[in-house]
Amino acid sequence: MSPPPAPTLLDGFAYRDGTMHAEDVPLATIADEVGTPCWVYSHGVLDARFRAFDAAFAGIPHLVCYALKANSNQAVVRTFAELGAGADIVSEGELFRALAAGVPPERIVFAGVGKTAPEMAAALQAGILQFNVESEGELLRLSQVAAGMGRTAAVALRVNPDVDAGTHAKITTGTPDNKFGIEIGDARAVAAQAAALPGIRLAGLAMHIGSQLTSVEPYRAAFGRLADFARSLMNEDGHRLERLDLGGGLGVHYRHAPPVDLPSYAAAARAAVAGFPGTIVLEPGRWLVADAGILLARVQYVKRGSLKTFVILDAAMNDLVRPAMYDAWHPLRPVTEPAAGAEPVTVDVVGPICESSDVLATAREMPPVAPGELVAIGVAGAYGAAMSSFYNSRLPAPEVMVRGQGFSLVRSRPSYDEMIAHERLAPWQTHQP
């Protein structure tokens, strides 16, 4: 069976009259007004992806909690909040972002292995839906914090179902080798402990086996184990469970692997939870936002060496770190539509950072480009801007959202003064040399 073709950019990004548009806006117009590099998001793609995901679970009680770690821009989070989404958060900062964007606290789920006591207190004060508890130590701490505040924390025990998702080792989370969750063999005892602790109400179970899954089979196995365990806890141990949190991790089409089939994924979930008397929680992140975003950059130089040709952009690994971190592959296209029959050349697409790992594409065949031309790096709406940094004291790229014929700057490029505003000289350094 031959692999699927490499992806075009995205539904919301296409050539029109010889130039690539974001919805109805030429990307060159955005570059001229905002500068490069910059992130560009399609509101239409965000809207369509959420509606499709939500519709896949129509007819059963469910809550879609967008995973903020994929892209935490306020305009992105507000787009989903206005469509009825909740939020999957992993820090107090993400709690603040979710609330500021208008996500109701009763739709917020707090996951993550290292919750601190102040983070727990903030979430309890806000009145979130549930904590996904990942260890016995965390459960005991949450009990102390909640009881001390006179509150009751609704808890879903995150069970590690020992299912290998078959993804990159750095984004697999569902086996005993990973730091996440309570091993399923230990979870019954922890559930009994949770039911007896002050300040704790055992409300459900949770799982998440990894990210960028493109096959339904690992989900089918993990959903089945979680649902069977839930039935055992309810029927044999007398626990009253209100929710099953099935996590997220759905994969998208970066290169060869096709995206996960949404109807098959939803069917696997429906089959596993059939008869469960409560609500299903789902935590998509990448699947909702990856295809909605590009990184727009400008070619600075084309450097031809004896072994390689390098296309040097003004975007770098401080903007998009995924290729350096995961050897991730992103589609990359010139913004000006190549002439028919243009012969591709093999290049490494790199940035200006002083690291050999600052490579955005290796041995990539693409149409010839020249200094000053714009290129679009696709499927970049997830884990792009959210993982960007000031490395090499480069200013993080601004973010733009497009809707129809209009666009808006939804995060500005900081100034150099803002870059160092939170730094201070030590007292003995106050005199000028």
Residues belonging to the active site: 354
Best CA proximity match to 273, nearest among 235, 205, 224, 238: 224
Beta pairing, strands 62-67 & 38-42 = unpaired
Three-class secondary structure of residue 357 per DSSP: coil
Three-class secondary structure of residue 276 per DSSP: coil
What whole-number distance in Å separates Cα of residue 248 and Cα of residue 210? 8
| Token pair belonging to 317 | 């690994």
Q: Are 131 and 179 in contact (CB under 8 A)?
A: no
Q: Are 20 and 335 in contact (CB under 8 A)?
A: yes
Q: Are 283 and 245 in contact (CB under 8 A)?
A: yes
CB-count burial class (<10 Å; 0-12, 13-18, 19+) for 113: middle
Which residues have CB under 8 Å from 285's CB, separation 6+? 66, 67, 68, 69, 70, 71, 88, 211, 248, 382
What whole-number distance in Å separates Cα of residue 49 and Cα of residue 39? 19
Best CA proximity match to 408, nearest among 155, 145, 148, 73: 73
How many Cα atoms are found within 13 Å in the side-chain-facing hemisphere of 303?
A: 13
Q: Angle at CA 157, nearest 5°, toward 260 and 67? A: 40
Strand partners, 426: none
Q: Are 375 and 297 in contact (CB under 8 A)?
A: yes
Backbone angles phi and psi of 349, in degrees to 5: -100, 120
What whole-number distance in Å separates Cα of residue 73 and Cα of residue 381? 10
Three-class secondary structure of residue 433 per DSSP: coil
Please give the torsion angle defined by the CA atoms of residues 105, 108, 110 and 111, in that order, rounded to the nearest 10 degrees: -170
